[in-house]
Chains A and B, each alone.
Chain A
């Protein structure tokens, strides 16, 4: 992840970013900021959506090089829908994460992107998988990623509880993203949140002035 943070300041358009995913009672919330940067000083987009839908109830948050992340998710979306048609059933979240992992691992020399895959399936319910830079895949109760995530490790370690309610998890996500955006100069803009449950996926946008404020603001 350290290499990612350094490279994101060197290589083209990148989502110097903050992404996270949290499991709660009955689903997952995934969230991100909305800034795309070139180097440390130019914001190439204030309103980019880093939450890519790869299937009805499976989303991927992207971090790192925007081009690489878009290419990988496009490929994964295709492979996943093909797999789903072959199996004649909605795909497992683990299958989606596995596809991302294969792509990242087999192309690790060329790619510079990290992902958090999260969603809901019938077999295991809500799940979160991190697919890191070199192609490691890891299942976690919550995950944070991107350059802004370094600043909130302490906060999420202290504040996360398993089996939160939807309201608690939403507040947790908003706070964590707002804190990271407050300290990381390549994260910012608005907060995108997607709530994924058995019922489906719901996308919420929280504009900057509605974000929680802390003592030094």
Chain B
């Protein structure tokens, strides 16, 4: 156990080399994870959310066309990263709680309420869970909003938020390219560009780019296939 714990401090490649065994391939010993890249951006009138589509069990890609943008309510979605099982369970629980709350209130729920429910669960069970979630949507009171609930259970609102294993590689790109006051098309281009760059560098992210645009009018879904992704000169 101690040896495994020590091995886990190092990169995945090191520990899987030590455990290599033809009879038990890598993916039978690994948890399913959405090692991933997720992102959400606020604009005036709504939000744009994006994610890659790869779910891995160790080095095996269990699902190459995953939809990581999960509806929580009519105009509230969440992007999931971390353990696939944990995030699915949390999203299901919050969807139930929010639906009940919305019926009690007899009106559409606030994005902040959804984010708060995620935070309560992620913080209370922080020792057992491995989940990084971005909650985004539109409501009547505050328009488009993006809230991030990273591992550990913090809650904060940000105009642009990135998450998942691939997000490390695009902090520089996001910091330099984001401007306040972008419109919907600019946000779509920005999101697609950032996700493409992350997918090219992160082994746990890949496949297609899925996006959702949430406004007062409703939700619009888009998919950008692999050969339609934006091209960068060195990529």
Q: Which residues of A contact B (CB under 8 A)?
A: 2-3, 6, 141-142, 150-158, 160-162, 175-176, 179-180, 182-183, 214-216
Contact = CB atoms under 8 A, between A and B. Distances in A.
A215 B155 CA distance: 21
B169 A3 contact: no
Contacts of B14: 3
Contacts of B193: 158
Contact of A151 (B10, B11, B171): B171
B10 A180 contact: no
Given A151-B168, A161-B233, 9 more contacts: A6-B10, A142-B234, A152-B172, A156-B234, A157-B235, A160-B234, A176-B172, A183-B172, A214-B176
Secondary structure type dominating chain B contacts: helix
A154 B172 contact: yes
B172 A179 contact: yes
Interface residues of B, number: 27
Interface string B6-48: 0001110010000000000000000000000000000000000
B180 A154 contact: no
Interface stretch (B117-125, B194-202, B219-227): B194-202
Interface string B163-179: 00000111111111111
Contact of B201 (A3, A142, A157): A157
B173 A3 contact: no
A153 B201 contact: yes
A154 B198 contact: yes
Contact of A154 (B9, B10, B173, B179): B173
A154 B169 contact: yes
Interface in B143-181: 168-180
A6 B168 CA distance: 15
A154 B178 contact: no
A215 B179 contact: yes
B11 A3 contact: yes
Contacts of A152: 171-173
A3 B175 CA distance: 26
11 contacts: A2-B10, A6-B9, A6-B10, A152-B172, A154-B169, A154-B170, A158-B173, A161-B233, A179-B172, A183-B172, A216-B175
Given A150-B168, A150-B169, A155 B176 contact: yes
